[in-house]
A and B are shown apart, each in its own frame.
Chain A
Amino acid sequence: MHPAEFDLSRSYARHVTEEVVLRTKGLVKRFGSITAVDGIDLEVRRGEVVGLLGPNGAGKSTTIGMVLGLITPNAGAAEVLGRDVRVRREDALAGVGAMLEVTSFYPYLSGRDNLVSVALLRGGGALARVEPLLARLGLAQRGGSKFRTYSLGMRQRLGIASTLLGDPALVILDEPANGLDPAGQREIRELIRELAGEDRGVLLASHLLYEVEQVCDRVLVIKKGKLIASGTLAEVTRGGGSYFEIVVDDKARAAQLLRGLGIEEIRETPTGLDVVADADRGAELNRALASAGLYASAIVPRASSLEDVFLELTEPEPPSASPAS
C-alpha cells in the first residue's frame, strides 16, 4: 500500500461525508446453543446519541464486540462509515473510538503513557491530543500516576479519553458512568452531548436509564439478543402510554368501577391504583369515583418514563412461555 493511501485511511474519520456512521444488518451471534444476539439491525447517524438498553445478558456488549470486530458474527454484518468491519476492520476502526465495559490499560504505565501508547497505535495527530484530552477529562493532575493507582472513576475517564484520541466519527461507550460520582456522571453526560454537537455519532450502552433519558436522541431496547423497541425517546415512551396514579382507600371497589368504564389495565399499588387510560380521561375518572362515593385523595396524570417502558419491555416472561424458547 502506498504511504499516502495509508495515511488517508487513517485520517478519514472526520472528513468523510457518510451520514450513517454505524449500520448493522441482521447481526447474529451464537455461543454454543445460546443465541446471544439474534438479528440486530441498528443505525447511528452523525450528531446523534443512540442509547443501547437491555438487562444484563441481553447482548449489548456482544453487539458492540461484533461492531468492533472482537467477536465474529455467525450471520449479518456491521459497517462503520460504509466499511464492512469483517472485510476492512482496521480501516473501519480508524473512524471509531470505543470504550469497553471493563477499562483495561497497562497497570505499570501512567495514565499519560497509556494514552501515548494508544495514540502511537492511532497515528495521525493523536499524539497531540493526549494532553488536551487529559485536561478535558479532569486527569491533568494525575496523568503521571500509574494506572494501577487509579480509582474506578479515573479509569473510566481515561477510557473515555482514549476513545477520542483518533478524533473519531463514531464513539462507542459501554457503561461509561460506572464508578463515577454524581458530579462525574453529569460531566460525562455533558461530554456525550458535546460529542454529538461535534458531529460525531455516539452509541451509548448503559444501565442508567435516567442517563440515557437525558442524553439520547434515540434508544434501542434489546432483550435476549433481539431488538424489541426502537425510536426516539418520545416514540418509545409513548408505547408505554399514559396512566393515572389514583390514591384511594377501597381499591377493590374502585378497580371494579373503573373496569366498568372500559379500562382494562389496572395495577394495584400500596396507596391505591395505577390506571392506564388516555390523558384526557382524568375528569371522567374523578366523576365516576365520586358518584360512587369513592373519594380519591389524589388523581395524578403520569406519562410512562423510559424506566417504566424498559421494565415493562424487559419483564421476564411467565414460566409457561419458556418451554417453547
Chain B
Amino acid sequence: MPWIMLGLIVVAAFGFYFLIWASVNAQLQAVKSGAIPAPPGGTGQFDEVLREIAPDRVPNFGIGLVSGIGSVMLIVFAASHVGTEFGWGTFRTLLAHGASRSGFLVSKAVSLLLYALVFMTVGSLAAIGASYTVSAIAGISAGSGVDLAEVVRVAGNSGYTFLPYMALALAIAVWSKSAGAGIAAGLVVYFAEGIVAGILVSLNKDYAQIVNWGLSRNASALTRTTTAAAGQDPSFSTLPDPTQAAIVLGLYTTIFLALAYWRLRSRDVTVGG
C-alpha cells in the first residue's frame, strides 16, 4: 500500500497536469477554429489557466493538487496502518512476543509522520516534474522557474495540516479495532466539518468565533496564507491567526494520539484483537 500510494501520487500529478493542459488547449483550438463560440470574457481565462501549469506556479497549483489528493490518501493510510493490525490479529501476536503497547503506538505514529514526509516530498517532486514536462510540451514559459524554498514551505504547511486528521483516523481505528471505521471517521470529519464551518461563516461571520476552534478553519489558516488567492477568499479575514492555527492543530494531534494510547493501554486483547 505505501508504494502504491507513492506511485499513485506521481501518476496523479502528471495526469492532472496533462489533463488540464489537454482540455484547455482543446477548448482554445475549438474557439480559434470557430467550432465553439468564444466565452464572454474572451480566451484570456484559458491563458490564465494554462499559466497555472508553469513551474513558477508549482507552490500554489502543484502543491495544492498534491495536498488535495494526498490528504485523502494519508487519512486512508493512517487508519489502515493501525486497523489492519487488529484485523490480521498481528497486534496480538506482537504483544505475545513481548512488544509493548506504548512502543507499538509510538512506532505507528512515527512511521506515519515519516511516511507523510516522504509522501509530500515525492508528491512535490512529481508536481515539479509534471509542470516542467507539460510546460515544455505546451510551449508555456517556465517564467522564473520553481521557487524551491516556497515549495518546501507550502508543502510543509500542507503536510502539517494533515497530521490531526491522520491522528484522528488512527485513534478511531484503535478504538474500533477497524481500519474501515478509522477511514470513515477521518474522511467524514475532513469533508463535513469544512463544509459546515464554511456555511456557518457565510451565514454569519460571528460563527467564526466557534468554528475557528475546529480542524478545517485552522488548516485553512495555514494553507491559505500561502496562496495568492487568499485575498480573494471572502471568509479569509475571519480565519484564525496562523500561529494559533498551528498550535491548535498540534493540540488536536496530541489529544487524538493520547486518546488512542489510553484506549490501547487499557484494552484486553482477546481473539481478533
Contact = CB atoms under 8 A, between A and B. Distances in A.
Interface stretch (B90-98, B174-182, B248-256): B90-98
A100 B271 CA distance: 9
B90 A102 contact: no
Interface in B49-102: 88-90, 92-100
Contacts of A100: 92-93, 96, 271
Interface stretch (A67-75, A216-224, A237-245, A271-279): A67-75
B11 interface: no
A187 interface: no
Contact of A121 (B99, B266, B269, B273): B99
A42 interface: no
Contacts of A90: 98, 100
Taking chain B's interface residues, is the majority helix, strand, or loop, or is none over half, making it mixed? loop
B233 interface: no
Given A70-B92, A104-B88, A106-B90, A162 B97 contact: yes
Contacts of B99: 121
Nearest to A118: B97
Contacts of B268: 65, 70-72
B222 to A, nearest CB: 36
B270 interface: yes
A114 to B, nearest CB: 9
A28 interface: no
A93 interface: yes
A121 B94 contact: yes
A104 B95 CA distance: 12
B269 A70 contact: yes
A93 B98 contact: yes
B4 to A, nearest CB: 12
- Contact-residue size bin, chain A (C-beta under 8 Å from the other chain): 20 to 34
Contacts of B269: 65, 70-71
Interface in A87-121: 89-90, 93-94, 96, 98, 100-107, 118, 121
Interface residues of B, number: 18
Nearest to A62: B270
A314 interface: no
A68 B268 CA distance: 11
A121 B104 CA distance: 11
Contacts of B88: 104-107
Contact of A98 (B90, B97, B266, B273): B97
A61 interface: yes
Contact of A122 (B90, B97, B266, B273): B97
Contacts of B95: 68-70
A68 B89 CA distance: 15
A295 B90 CA distance: 63
A51 interface: no
Contacts of B273: 70
A69 B89 CA distance: 16
A166 B97 CA distance: 9
Interface of A: 61-62, 65, 68-72, 89-90, 93-94, 96, 98, 100-107, 118, 121-122, 162, 165-166
26 contacts: A61-B271, A62-B270, A65-B270, A69-B95, A70-B96, A70-B268, A70-B269, A71-B268, A71-B270, A90-B98, A90-B100, A93-B98, A98-B96, A101-B271, A102-B271, A104-B89, A104-B90, A104-B93, A105-B88, A105-B90, A106-B90, A107-B88, A121-B98, A122-B98, A162-B97, A166-B98
Interface of B: 88-90, 92-100, 266, 268-271, 273
Given A104-B92, A106-B88, 15 more contacts: A61-B270, A65-B269, A65-B270, A68-B95, A70-B96, A89-B100, A93-B98, A96-B98, A100-B96, A102-B271, A104-B89, A104-B93, A106-B90, A162-B93, A166-B98
